[in-house]
Structures are given as structure tokens and as C-alpha cells.
Chain A
């Protein structure tokens, strides 16, 4: 247990953990000490002086060492002569604070009067009006009128773009430095700073691109005034008009909790639409942060071109049909082709959708092939075995925890995890990054391990061999609990422990979290990587513990859910090897993303796709069914750490679109399947009954909340910022099998396939970038300037050999694909490899490593 200390606020004694900041300590006991510059997630700086209080300490008799008491027996305090800043004070035993005396009231009043001398008081036209800490604190503590001479007011620029996403109003800024400190301390992108000093102090950025960080939107949440506003929301609506709805980000496996500010909007024909996306607090997941993709990537929910009716291809032309006809047609085709059916589930299908799709396929095939898309990573079943244990909280891990990030460009693939791992490193966690090329996390890693693409497994095997040498780590393992242990021991005997320093760091910490991406690996190789990670965790006894375990950095929001419900990338591979005659494709765009999949799908006899838009995949289908986006419906996603989280209906429905689960269930009814459920919650009830891991994940359970610290929103706007208080559920973390002490675990020796040598010039490595042209992101036009043009990264030596310079147009070709792109020679690509960011063009490219040639083409 942490040590507690007793301190006094206005004469009342309170207890709090030793070392707590005074403002936080008061807040924990629901006492407000008003602040502007202080933020519970940032280090204190004592700049704004709003938190002035009287500080004192217990008066102790020097001879006896006893606390002095007055005639009533109350303790006597000695007070410092002047007001002090509470935010720079750590609570110690016997500390006393007075927050309501005349001096304190006057101090606050004067600070507010000073702050308001240069503030424009344009609240009626300010986006922050209505949720503004300065407004609130002025009402609470400030003077009713100003003595300031308006002629002496400093007039500064308004509408200053800090990049394309965030606007700065220089007049409104009160120089609290929350934004600069957020960028510096939390993100590590030191792209905002103060310029000049005194009354001329101003926020500036000259980074390129301006305000160059993936987390810029968060500065608007913690800005205590209307100085920073987003391009997405400024002048969009007043905060008090908005109805906040709880939802989950559909873009990546982190599963950030979001709050969608919605209203009935004139521009949308009176429909309820999303006006802005804000973070919703979940200290287990995203804390109070979200990345810019999550914040600004919601425009697909109401973009032009959303499908509104089922569309049937007849003689090459699209004809709208009604839903019953569509259901009948699919049912008839399933009867016809049921024995040769392929299912592809996209990364943003909810668990309910996946469940109904699986049930539907099961009606016509005894062992339906349930594939996921993108099929670049696998091993969700291993995550279910040795995933992170109950009570895992990234924001709390420190020196007792080691974190290995392997085969992932972490910031691009899971920005908020990146942010949390970066901060864990700042707190002393041993972060080790293993990848074939440099990534941004290297900067914060205690050790960096380089391997050749395809040989990631050898890194993990090296660590495992090192662990085997340490009997204190592996001595207690028994063959009865861990199947395959002796084979693994035997296989690792021949492996030389490599990367000694990194291994020691990872193995000496109490906990070990492994984030495994899929960069540079085929599906089969990725299976081996995941198995090697599971081996390491089981061997070292790290499996099934809090803040320990395996996490897959999936290319999508709900791929872990797909694995938990029986889908896999191996099934996709099998389907592509022997293409079926009929496909059901749910919310995926394989035709645009992968040349091989495109061939397999276009060659089929009947393809039905659910989609938001007419994508290349929809174009290749025979029947396209309009699905609802995450905003129009309820459902659940399982994030990469296996936390099942609910999202709620946020906005009005577009056209006749339906949620995927309803579509699949209705088709099932026509095949004599069970009657369709009436709600997503009822579907989840079926899942809880049939999928043991999800037994507890009922909708009421997922909606449970608990008191979280720091407090945000509402009356605590001034404290934690405008992130939303979570009223709608923190979700449920599914414990891994390994957490059950009696459960049987399995290890299996894995070997490295030597990379196949080919005659081709280069090996093409698909890499993921955050800002891509995915169907869920492309419609967010304000982000387009951040989406890079199609490019391919080459090593300097390869580029010289091929006569290619940075910026040249090149053709990248291989078996069955050809892409034109801009060459980048920036020192990131290892020799012999061409890195191809995926989902940047609509020309299909391989989604797993492949041979390629690259040549320069004319302008």
C-alpha cells in the first residue's frame, strides 16, 4: 500500500497518498482550487497564479515534539506570510491550506482582473463560450467589472492557422502553456512554443508541416480559453446545442472512447448529425486523449455518396432493389453456392455483425471459411490465451514493466498506445523496439533491436533462449501445465541468446507487455511471430498477469473480436488459394487493396458486399447492400487489449441502410435460420451464451462506469479540460485463458524461414500509415493535406543503382500488380527493400511482402 499523509484544508483533516499534488489532493476530496495552467496530466509550472492559497503547517513544540493545541484542543498552525501557488505544492504530513480567506479571495480576484485586461471578452462569438474555464472561473471568483482602460488593450491577430487543423486566436490566449507542455511532455513533438516575453508572449509554430503532430486536437480540449479551436468545429455550433452521444472510434485497435456532439442540423436537412468528436474519458483505454484521425475522421458517416438502397448489377448497370428482394436473392444464391462460399469480414464490423455473419454462413456450410480483411496479421487466438491480464492499465505502468514493440510502426498504427508507451518510457518502463527499420518510437526506447525483414521471430527466440538460462524465471514451469515445454526447451537449446542488453531489460522487469505488429511478415510468418511471443510470455511466467501479455497491433478496430468469434487470416489465405464461387464481403475493400484478392473476387460467380460507398469492391460485386456506419447504430468492438466496448446510436440513419447484423440475420431467416433478433443487445446476449470468453459481456455490464480521476468536463472543465465524463460504460476486459491458474497452456517451437531469394530487384514491404485513403477516412476532406501521395521508400544504395532520386515518379511492379508512386529516399528503408505505404492509392498492391521491381518513369 502507498503511504498516506494527513493534511488540512480550511481546518478539516483529510488523508491522501504521499506525494500527491495539492490541487489534485483537494480535488480528490471534492474541494476546488481554481487553476488555469495546472493540469492533472501535466507537470506543474505555477505560471498563471490562479491557484494562490494560504499555506501553513502544524505548529510543533520544539522541546516535546508534540503538536501545539489551542484552548479548545484544536491543532495550531503556522502560516506563511504570503499567498503561494497550490499547484507547485506536494502534500506532506501536517500541511495546511486555507482556500476561502479574504486574502485568497482577493488574490484570485486580482489574477482574473489581470488576465481579463488583455482578453477580448468576445464570448458571444467564441466557440469555447459555454464550456470555457475562464468564463466559469470569472463567474465564480472574478471581479464584476474591469478598471482597465480599453485604449491600453493589446490587440493581436485572430484566426491564425497553426496548421490546417487548429486555429489560434492570439487575443484570447492567457499564456498558460498547457498546449506547449502537452506537445512537449506528453507527445514529445516539440512543435509549439512561446515567442517573445511579457505581454508580447505568443504561441508559435514553424514546424513543417505546421503544428506537425498526430495529437494536435487534444490541445483544444485542455486550452482553458477559446484560443485554440479546431478547423472541424469552429463556428459549427454552440456547445449547449449539442447532444453528446457515447461511441467508440472505428479506426484502429486502441478503441478510444469518444463522445460525439450531435444536433439536428440545417445543413443536413434537419437530420441529427455529428458536429464534432471529443474524447470520452476511459483511463483504462485512451485516458482523455484521442488522435487527430479519430477526432476528424468522422465525416464518412454523412459523406456524399453514401449508399442508400440495395443495388443489383443487371447487365452491367446498377439497379436499385428493395430489401426483401435483396434478401431473397442472397438466400437463393446461398442455397446454390453454399458449398463454395467465402466470407470476408472487414475490420470495422461489430461483434454483433460478425456473429450474425458467422451464423448465416453456418446455415449453408458445415465448416464455413470465415476470413478477415485485411488478412495481413493473425494470432488472435494466441492473444486470447496470453493477452494482457485483468487490471492492465498502460497509463499506470512504470519501471516494474518492460514493453516490447515488434514489427510495428507504432505511432502510425496505434497512436494512443504509442502515446502511452512513450509516457511509460518517460516514467521508467523499459521500452524495447524491434523492427527492420527505424520508427519514431526508437527515440524513447531503452534499446533498439534491428533484424532483417522476415526474421522477427529470431529476436523473440533469442530472448526466450536467454530466459531459459535463468532458472529463477523458468525453473517453476511444469510440463503438466504447459504442453510442448520439453520440445520448446530442446529447440531453444540450439539458439544463441542474442541482443543481450535488450533481453536483460525485458526479462529483469516484473511485467512484460509485447505489442506485435505485422510489418514485413506473411500471414504464416506472423503466426510464427505470435507463437514466439506467446512462448516467451509463458516461459517467463509473464502470461496471465496484470500489465503483462500479448497485444496484436491489428489493422482495424475489431479484428480481435473477429478472432474471438472464429474468423482468421488463415481462412482468408485458404479462400484466396482456392477461390470460392460465391463471396459475402462485409465492410471491406479487398479489391482496392490487394491484387490477388481482386482476382479471386472478380472471378467468382456471385459476390454480395455490404458497404458504405461504391468502392472498387462494391463495383466488383453483383449485389451491394447499404450498411450503416458506426454512428447510426449500436454495437460493440473488442479492442486490441480485448476490452469489449459499447458504442451507441449517434446520428440519424442515411437512406434505407441497415446494420450488418440485421442484414445477415434477415437473410438467415429466409434460409430457415432462427428469427432475427430485435436489437444489437439481444444479439450480444446470444454471443454471451455461446462464446465462453464473452459470457460476462452483456450490454448492461459493458455500460457500467466507475469514478475516474482526473475529473473532467462539467464543473471540472477548468481542471481536466473538455474531454467528456464517461457515463456510458468503461467496457469489459476479457481475461486471457492464462489467468486461470489451472488452464492448460501450449508452447510450440518456431523457426525462422530464411527469406526466399528471388531474382527480383527488391522485396516489397507493405507498411501502414495513419492517414490513408481508407473508405472510413477518405471522406474527411480537412485531413487530405495530411494524407501523403502514393509513395515508395527506397534505400539510398538501391535508389542509386536504379538511377532513382528522391521525388522521382516510379513504377512498382510485381506478380499481378503495378503501381505508380513517388520515390522517397529518406534513409528509412533497409537495403534490398521497398517500403510501400498501404491504402494510399486505389490501385491494388500486395498486402503482405512480395517481390517487386522499381523503375523510373517519365513525368
Chain B
């Protein structure tokens, strides 16, 4: 449960806002960070923390694209393919990435590690092709760089599993 595991962080989040209800977005991020995605249970948990109906948490998670209400891979690649990025080859890069991972647009790899997705502007047009991996930026990408990243993440995941 978030309330026990992250008591301090939640307390800190609440202290930023005039009332509990306002903290819902931060807490939804926390839940997504913890569970990988926002399941019905996670929404209920967050709603209970800020004392609103779960429907409101569901609504907010639905409105903002950076919340996911579907299960995601451990690593979530969001590639910007808006016009400026596409001019710098983001489209081709995205195609190549999908092919390399063997997934469709928006799909998740069979091992459940990687999800790829096209997103709108991430405000780094000058360093395209670029993507977010779990909200961290990776810029000036090409297929080799991303292959290296994927490899590194696979090892990290394997190591984490081995523990």
C-alpha cells in the first residue's frame, strides 16, 4: 500500500497544497511509479488518500496522457513524432525501434519489459529524434544508441530479478 510504503513522500506532497484534493495528480504519479500503471485498485487507493470518489481519480487519469490506465512494460518509451521531430527523422527512428523490439505501434514486448508509444511534443525538438523512458529524456538518438540502451535496461532488469 502506498500509504504505508511512502508515508513520508505522501506527507510532503500534501504539504505543498492548500487542501488534500489538490494533491491528486502528484499521488497518481506516485501510484504509477509504484505499480507501473494505474489499475482500478490504484485509482481507488489514491482516491481514498485524498478523500474523493474513485470516479474523479479515473477522470483525471483519463484526461492526462502521461497517466496510463493500461498495463505497461517496465520501461515505457515515448517517442515524439510531431512535425519538427519528424523533420529530423523521428518517424523513421520510431519505425526502426518498433522493428528492433518486434512490436506494433503502442505495443509491449513479449517479455513485458518495453512499451513503445508515439506522443505529442516533448519540447526537445532541437535534439530529435528523442524519447522519454519512464519520464527521463534520451536525446539525439539513433538505432545504435537505443540498442545500447535497450541492452543495458535488459541487464538491469535481469539483475533486479536475480536479487
User: Which residues does A use to contact B, with CB under 8 Å?
Assistant: 189-197, 204-208, 212
Contacts A206-B40, A206-B43 given: A192-B55 contact, CB under 8 Å? yes
Q: Which of B43, B53, B55 has the most CB of A within 10 A?
A: B55
On whether the beta carbons of A190 and B63 are closer than 8 Å, the reply is no
Contacts A196-B63, A197-B63, A206-B40; is A190 near B58 (CB within 8 Å)?
no
A205 vs chain B, min Cβ distance (A): 5
Digitize B28-60: 1 where CB-to-A-CB distance is under 8 Å, 0 elsewhere. 000000000000100100000000111110110
A205 engages B62 (CB within 8 Å)? no
Please give, as numbers and ranges, the residues of chain A lying within 8 Å of B54 by CB-CB distance.
Answer: 206-208
Residues of B within 8 A of A205 (CB): 55
What is the CA–CA distance of A386 and B58 in the complex, to the nearest angstrom? 48
Q: A191-B55, A204-B59 are in contact. List 11 more A-B contacts (CB 8 A).
A: A193-B56, A193-B58, A194-B62, A195-B59, A197-B62, A197-B63, A204-B58, A206-B40, A206-B43, A206-B54, A207-B54
Q: DSSP majority for the A interface?
A: loop
Q: Quick one: which of B40-95 are within 8 Å of A by CB?
A: 40, 43, 52-56, 58-59, 62-63
Count of A-B contacts with CB under 8 A? 38
A193 to B62, CA, bound (A): 10
* B62-A207 in contact (CB<8A): no
**Cβ distance A717 to chain B, nearest Cβ, rounded Å:** 28
Q: From residue A45, how far is it (CB to closest CB) to chain B in Å?
A: 15
Asked if B53 and A207 make an inter-chain contact with CB atoms under 8 angstroms apart, the answer reads yes
Distance from A501 Cβ to chain B, minimum over Cβ atoms (Å):
21
The closest CB in chain A to the CB of B65 belongs to A197
In the complex, residue of chain A having the shortest beta-carbon distance to the beta carbon of B61: A195
The chain B residues found within 8 Å of chain A, CB to CB, are 40, 43, 52-56, 58-59, 62-63
Please tell me if the beta carbons of B62 and A204 are within 8 angstroms of each other in the complex.
yes
CB-CB under 8 A from B58, the residues of chain A are: 193, 195, 204, 206
The answer to whether B63 and A189 touch across the interface, beta carbons within 8 angstroms, is: no
B53 touches A194 (CB 8 A): no
Q: In the bound complex, how far is the Cα of B43 from the Cα of A842, in angstroms?
A: 40
- Determine the chain A residues whose CB is within 8 A of the CB of B59 once the complex forms: 193-195, 204
CA distance A208 to B53 in the complex (A): 9
Q: Which residues of B contact A189 (CB under 8 A)?
A: 53
Residue numbers in B under 8 Å from A212 (CB-CB): 53
Instruction: Report the nearest A residue to B62, measured CB to CB.
Output: A195
Q: What separation, in Å, do the CA atoms of A205 and B53 have in the docked complex?
A: 9
Alpha-carbon distance A205/B56, docked complex (angstroms): 8
Chain A residues with CB under 8 A of B52: 190
Q: A208: which B residues are within 8 A, CB to CB?
A: 54
Could you tell me the distance between the alpha carbons of A206 and B54 in the complex, rounded to whole angstroms?
A: 6
Distance between Cα atoms of A189 and B53 in the complex (Å): 8
Smallest beta-carbon distance B25→chain A, Å: 15
Please give the distance in Å from A845's CB to the nearest CB on chain B.
33
| Bound-complex Cα distance A406 to B159 (A) | 63
Cα distance A192–B40 in the bound complex, in angstroms = 16
Residues of A within 8 A of B56 (CB): 190, 193
Q: How many angstroms between the C-alpha atoms of A208 and B54 in the bound complex?
A: 9
Min CB gap A853→B, angstroms: 35
Q: Are B55 and A196 in contact (CB under 8 A)?
A: no
Complex-state Cα separation, A189 to B63, whole angstroms: 20
Shortest Cβ distance from residue B39 to the other chain A in the assembled complex, whole angstroms? 11
Interchain CA distance A197-B62 in the complex, whole Å: 8
- Kindly list chain B residues whose C-beta atoms are within 8 Å of the C-beta of A207: 53-55
Q: How far is A191 from B43 in the complex, measured between Cα atoms in Å?
A: 14
Residues of B within 8 A of A191 (CB): 53, 55
Chain B residue, CB-CB nearest to A190: B53
Assuming the contacts A190-B53, A206-B54, A206-B55, asked whether A196 and B62 have C-beta atoms less than 8 A apart, the reply is: yes
CB distance from A194 to the nearest CB of B (A): 6
A190–B55 contact, CB under 8 A?
yes
CA of A204 to CA of B62, assembled, Å: 10
19 contacts between A and B (CB under 8 A): A190-B56, A191-B53, A191-B55, A192-B55, A193-B55, A193-B58, A193-B59, A194-B59, A195-B58, A195-B59, A196-B62, A196-B63, A197-B62, A206-B40, A206-B54, A207-B53, A207-B54, A207-B55, A208-B54
6 tightest A-B contacts by CB?
A: A193-B59, A195-B62, A190-B53, A193-B55, A196-B62, A206-B54
Please measure, in the bound complex, the distance between the C-alpha atom of A206 and the C-alpha atom of B40, giving whole angstroms: 9
- Report the bound CA distance from A206 to B53 in whole Å: 8
The interface centre, meaning the residue of A190, A193, A195, A205 with most chain B CB atoms within 10 A of its CB, is A193
Contact A204 B55 (CB under 8 A): yes
CB distance from B100 to the nearest CB of A (A): 31
- CA–CA, A194 and B63, complex, Å: 8
Nearest opposing residue in chain A for B59, CB measure = A193
User: B109 to nearest A CB, angstroms?
Assistant: 26
A190–B53 Cα gap in the complex (Å)?
Answer: 6
CB-CB under 8 A from A206, the residues of chain B are: 40, 43, 54-55, 58
**What is the CB-to-nearest-CB distance from A48 to chain B, in angstroms, rounded to a whole number?**
19
* Across-interface contacts of A204 in B (CB, < 8 A): 55, 58-59, 62
Q: How far, in whole Å, are A106 and B98 apart by their CA atoms in the complex? A: 48
Return A585 CB to nearest CB of chain B, in Å: 44
* Neighbouring A residues of B43 by C-beta, 8 Å: 206
**Complexed CA–CA distance, A601 and B58 (Å):** 55
Kindly state the separation between the CA atoms of A208 and B55 in the bound complex, as whole angstroms.
Answer: 10
Please, which residue of chain A has its CB at the minimum distance from the CB of B57? Answer: A206
A638 to B63, CA, bound (A): 49
Most buried by B among A191, A204, A205, A206: A206
Who on chain B is nearest to A196 by CB? B62
**In this complex, what residue of A is CB-closest to B60?**
A193
In the assembled complex, the Cα of A193 lies from the Cα of B63 at a distance in Å of 11
Chain A residues positioned under 8 Å from B40 (CB to CB)? 206
**Residues of B contacting A196 in the complex (Cβ-Cβ under 8 angstroms):** 62-63
Q: How far is the CB of A543 from chain B (nearest CB, A)?
A: 38
Q: A192 — which chain B residues lie within 8 A by C-beta?
A: 55
A449 vs chain B, min Cβ distance (A) = 22
In the complex the two chains form, what is the Cα distance from A330 to B16 in whole Å? 75
Question: What CA separation (Å) do A270 and B61 show in the bound complex?
Answer: 52
What separation, in Å, do the CA atoms of A204 and B53 have in the docked complex? 12
- Residues in A with CB closer than 8 Å to B55 are 190-193, 204-207
Distance in angstroms from A59 CB to nearest chain B CB is 43
B3 → A minimal CB distance (Å): 17
Q: How far is the CA of A190 from the CA of B55 in the complex (A)?
A: 7
